[in-house]
Amino acid sequence: HSMWCGSRPGETHTTYYATPYGTFPLTVETESVHWKFDERGGMLSLRYRIDLGGQKGKCALRIRAKAKE
C-alpha cells in the first residue's frame, strides 16, 4: 500500500503496514503543511501524528531544495 502524507491539516489516512511479525494498522494525521518555492528552490515542512497498531508518535519532516546553477 502507498499513502500520501502531505495532505491538508486535520485529514487522516489509514492503511496497513506488513512486517515479518504481522500486519498493523497505520494511521497518519497531518498537523501542518507549509511550503514556499520559486525559481531558485524552496522549502517543504510537514508535521504529522502517526499511530502504528496503537503505538503513537509525532513526526516532522523538512526538505530544502535549490535549483541547479
Report if pTM > 0.85.
no
DSSP state at residue 54: T
40: left (phi over 0), alpha (psi -120 to 50) or beta: alpha
How many angstroms separate the most distant Cα atoms in the chain?
47
Return the percent helix, strand and coil in the chain, to nearest 5: 0, 70, 30
Residues facing 13 on adjacent strands: 28
pLDDT in tens, 10-50: 888 899 999 999 999 999 999 998 989 988 999 999 999 99
In one-letter notation, the amino acid at residue 54 is: G
